[in-house]
Structure 1
Amino acid sequence: MVIALVLLLAVVSVVAGAQWYLWRRLVRDVSAPGGRYRRAGTVLAVVLPLLSVGAVVGGRLLPLAAERWLAWPGFLWMPSMLYLVLALLVAEPVRYLLLRRARRAAAAARVPGAAPERVAVAVGGRSGPDVTEGAAEGAGEREAGEVGEGSVDPSRRLFVARTLAVAAGGAAAAVVGNGAYGVLRGPRLKQVTVPLAKLPRRAHGYRIAVVSDIHLGPILGRAHTRRIVDTVNGAQPDLIAIVGDLVDGSVPDLGPAAVPLADLRARDGAYFVTGNHEYFSGAAPWVEFVRELGIHPLENARTELPWFDLAGVNDIAGAAEGHGPDYDRALGDRDRARTAVLLAHQPVTIHDTVRYGVDLQLSGHTHGGQLWPGNYIAELANPTVAGLERYGDTQLYVTRGAGAWGPPVRVGAPSDITVITLASPAA
């Protein structure tokens, strides 16, 4: 509890600091005190992060229709804030160099030994002491924090601030817009060949479509499911594996959005294992729902296909409900001379998988980091973030997933549906 509170406070502090930085560079530095733009920008600096909080917690408190009103602006502000901050940080050296050059030019323009022009400033209805010309601009100079000999003309400072703000805003909008387009158009098909030492010759070329992290919710709905189904069916796989995080909500709310999954077609059928998000929404109802759609749940279970054993384990999150992964039940009594393929949502289970002599584990969960540089954070918690890697005699493949959690945006981690082609050394 204490650790969670510390982490929460750390996150709040970072977000608050980022919001203040954005307000300073995008509102204060580019506007006049008390102006309409500054007032509107200050309001947005408060409202937008509150909408993001509402989008995160809305699924537990609000009906789906109301949640959608918070989800679009709230979730889109998250990546926008991230890439605005990154763009502005990149612009800081440019800002410094431009203002330094302007200060030097202003200092060089001064005539050595000339007396500064003096003006009278009225104080309390009377003429106060004479001050230099720079005092007439004191308020603006003090706000910018760069008062003194050789200081920059306020109009030049404003020009630099606005130019960099527009450049940073354009860069962030381009990155977020392209990332949102990539998610909303649907995942692309990816082909990967995996050689398996014990795979019989007759199974050479067997194709498994791996789908993970669809994340149906307030933004991604039925149309997204239909795009996924059409992409999978177009690949004509022999088997379909849905490896968790299908939904972010309940069956009554999101069941209609998942209905197109009933149209999935593969010679040996479609199989499903739970992800951690199913347990946030009620895993048991979803397991029954996908069964009704004609998809076979593997709840710590195994089916023996003619070519290999296909097994699946529940997600780690199910342990809190007494329904966590059970490797003994799924794999304990199998013939280890046969090839085994395991469906497990989280890559972190790979070390248990190795102990049970599994040849290939298929996972998701990481989203490939989803938003760069999130991949570096994902690497801290997962043995493999995306792609194929070997752990002893077991290979692990992690797909980046077919949807997105939270922001419908991906940067540096495009969504995918992977077709795994199994290869036999005897072929």
Structure 2
Amino acid sequence: MERKKIVQISDVHLGIINSEKLMKKIVKKINSVSPAALFITGDLFDGSDGDLDLMSSSLTDVRAERGIFFISGNHETYLGTEIAYRVLRNKGVKVLNDEVVDVGGLKIAGISYSERGEHKNIVSAAKKLEKDFRGKPNILLCHSPRFAQDFRALGVNLQLSGHSHKGQIFPFGFISRIIFNGYDYGLFVEGDYTLYTTSGTATWGPAMRTEGASEIAVITLR
């Protein structure tokens, strides 16, 4: 997918506050850039009650040549990841649950979030996949950016993460930078390793932000 545009969305938190109306607007903006692929890096759903199928229905309207790829975030574990997975698979979304897929020679690795009540070793999960992507052009999807240095050591080329919301509301921006080791928002290039941590495509809780805007990230692969 060299010189192709890809799109990343994260932390949409579809639920009581963020509804299918918001998702339709997001899909319209995604389609406006004609991406090769769409990557959803967790917390698409908020974990609250609601019709998940209806809220995410517009995903079937996404026009992405290579498809849609999804990894779970912490909020999917609140409602049950298998429930979220089933809804998304029925819409043709490729769910990556600690696995690697080949897309036109590009290896895409997806690390799922720890199940509720489970203390999963995220880095160990990635190490088990290392042989499938190291030395080949690759993208790794992980909800949290906390493990940037570990993933760099594994030979990851591009990591896409979210989770931090860039703090969303003052003073959590400062706290977010500490929690995520300085990788809480933005583009980080370190040798052959690149990380992009998005501020999120919507909000969690109140629909307000003081710590930067929500975004749909558009990335051109080179």
Matches for 1:82-121 after TM superposition, within 5 Å: none
Aligned 8 A contact 1:291 1:297 in 2: yes
Q: Deviations over 1:109-152 (max 9, x none)?
A: xxxxxxxxxxxxxxxxxxxxxxxxxxxxxxxxxxxxxxxxxxxx
- Tell me which residue corresponds to 1:268: 66
CA distance in structure 1 between the aligned counterparts of 2:194 and 2:89, rounded to whole angstroms: 29
Structure number with higher strand proportion: 2
Contact 1:372 1:413 in 2 (8 A): no
Q: Work out whether 1:212 is the aligned partner of 2:10.
A: yes
- Give distance in 1, aligned partners of 2:48 and 2:211: 30
Larger Rg: 1
CA contact (8 A) 2:78 2:116 kept: no
Equivalent position of 2:117 in the other structure: 320
Which is bigger in relative contact order (C-alpha 8 A, separation at least 6)?
A: 2
Between the two proteins, the alignment pairs up a number of residues equal to 219
- Of 408, 414, 424, the residue aligned with 2:207 is 408
| Correspondent of 1:354 among 133, 152, 156 | 152
In 2, are the aligned partners of 1:309 and 1:340 still within 8 Å (CA)? yes
Query: C-alpha distance in 2, partners of 1:322/1:367?
Result: 22
Once the 2 structures are TM-superposed, how far is the Cα of residue 271 of structure 1 from its aligned partner?
A: 0.3
CA displacement at 1:340 relative to structure 2: 1.1
- The one-character-per-residue Cα deviations of 1:329-384 (angstroms, maximum 9, x if unpaired) are 4x232253311110111001223312211111000111111113321111110131
Distance of aligned partners of 1:335 and 1:380 in 2 relative to their CA distance in 1, 3 Å threshold: closer
The residue number in structure 2 matching 1:238 is 36
8 Å Cα contact 1:302/1:309 also seen in 2: yes
Seen in structure 2, the aligned counterparts of structure 1 residues 406 and 380 have a Cα distance that, compared at 3 Å, is same
Specify the alignment match of 1:257 in structure 2: 55
- Give the RMSD, CA atoms, in angstroms: 1.9
381-390 or 250-259, which deviates more:
250-259
Q: Residues of 1 paired with 2:134 and 2:75: CA distance? A: 32
Asked whether the equivalents of residues 314 and 323 of structure 1 are also in contact (C-alpha less than 8 Å), the reply is: no
Using the TM superposition, give the Cα deviation of residue 318 of structure 1 relative to its aligned residue in structure 2, in angstroms: 2.4
Question: What pairs with 1:20-419 in structure 2 (closer than 5 Å)?
Answer: 203-249=1-47, 253-315=51-113, 317-318=114-115, 320-321=117-118, 325=122, 326-329=125-128, 331-334=129-132, 336-383=134-181, 384-391=183-190, 393-419=192-218
Are 2:100 and 2:133, in contact at CA under 8 Å, matched by a contact in 1?
Answer: no
Are the counterparts in 2 of residues 354 and 392 from structure 1 also a CA contact under 8 Å?
A: no
Equivalents in 2 of 1:221, 1:387: separation in Å? Answer: 27
Report the TM-score when normalising by structure 1.
0.49
1-structure distance, mates of 2:119, 2:173: 31
Report the CA distance between 1:417 and its aligned residue. 0.3
Aligned-residue offset at 1:323: 6.5
Contact 1:366/1:378, CA 8 A, preserved across alignment: yes
Deviations 1:64-105 (A, max 9, x none): xxxxxxxxxxxxxxxxxxxxxxxxxxxxxxxxxxxxxxxxxx
SS of 1:286 mapped into structure 2: helix
SS of the residue aligned with 1:347? coil
Please give the per-residue CA displacement for 1:141-185, whole angstroms capped at 9, x wherever unaligned: xxxxxxxxxxxxxxxxxxxxxxxxxxxxxxxxxxxxxxxxxxxxx
Q: CA separation in 2, counterparts of 1:335 and 1:412?
A: 35
Q: Indicate the residue corresponding to 2:220 in structure 1.
A: 421
Q: TM-score, normalised by structure 2?
A: 0.91
Mapped contact 2:42–2:76 kept (Cα < 8 A): yes
Amino acid at match of 1:395: T
The alpha-carbon distance between structure 1 residues 306 and 372, as it changes in their structure 2 partners (threshold 3 A), is: same
Q: 1:410 to 1:250 in 2, by over 3 A?
A: closer
- Gaps spanning 5+ residues in structure 2: where? none
Instruction: Kindly state the Cα deviation for residue 261 of structure 1 after the two structures are TM-superposed.
Output: 1.4
Q: 1:391 Cα shift?
A: 4.2
Amino acid of the residue matched to residue 360 of structure 1? L
